[in-house]
Structure 1
C-alpha cells in the first residue's frame, strides 16, 4: 500500500525577505516555499492530532524531493527546510520513496522507525496558501490532510492556521 504523508509546520525561520510587506517576487527564489514547508512540517510533526501518531517521535523524517505532482523542490528550499527543522528532527530529502521502505511480512514500513512525507505544491497567493501533506509509517499507519498557512504580517515567516478539506487516516 503506497501512502504519502503531508505535513504542516510552524516556521522558525530567522528574519528573511518576508519581513517586508512586498510581494513574493521580492523574496529570494525558493524562500517562500522553504518558509511554508517548514511551518507545515513543524505543525504536522509536532501535533499528534494531525499526524495521528501520539507519543511518537521520529529520528528521521524522509521527504520526497519533489511535490506530489512531480515538480522538483528546489535545492535551496530543501536546504533551508532541513536547517530550520534541526530542533524538531533530522529531515532528509530523498529521490526515491522505495529507498526508505522495507516490506517484512508483506507490510511496507519506513526503515529505522522513520516517517516518509510527501508534500503538495504551495498553492495560493502572497498571504495565504494551502499545502497537502501525506505522512506514511507503515501499511496501516498513514495520514493525509491539507493545511491552510498564512503569512505573518508584520514579521517573518508563515503560520499554520488550520486545515481544509478531507482528512484520511490509515
Structure 2
C-alpha cells in the first residue's frame, strides 16, 4: 500500500472500517480450502495467516497512533515491516479454528474502531491533533487493507487457479 495521502469521501468512517473487515472475513471464510501454496502479489507472498496478521496489525498500529495523538503523546513507529516477512506460522494450514479466531479478533477490532470513530466530531476527523494524516485519511488508508485478503482471494471454488 502506497504512502501517498489517502483520498477520502463522505462515507461514515466507522462504516468504512467495518465494511473492510466484513470483506476480509468473507474471503477468510473460504480459506480453509487453501492448498498450502503461498500467493505472489507484487514482490511479496501472502497466505491466509499472513493476510489476517497484516490486516490485524494494520488496524492495531493505526489505532495506537490515533489514541496516542488524541492523548497528546508521541506515536511509536512500526519498525518490523511485517508485510515483507513471511513467518513459518504464516505457512500453516488455515483451519476452522483459525477462522473462528480471526472472526473473533477482527470483529472486536471492528467494534473498537467503530466506537472510537463515532465519538469523534467531523472537526476531529479532519483536523486531527499531532503530525500525520487526519483520522479520516487514516480510516480510508485502512480500507486498503483488503489488499492482503484480496491477494489470497476467494478460495471457495475447489481447484481454482489463482
Question: TM-score when scaled to structure 1?
Answer: 0.26
Give the structure with the larger helix fraction: 2
Give the structure with the larger strand fraction: 1
Structure scoring higher RCO (CA < 8 A, sep ≥ 6) equals 2
Question: TM-score when scaled to structure 2?
Answer: 0.27
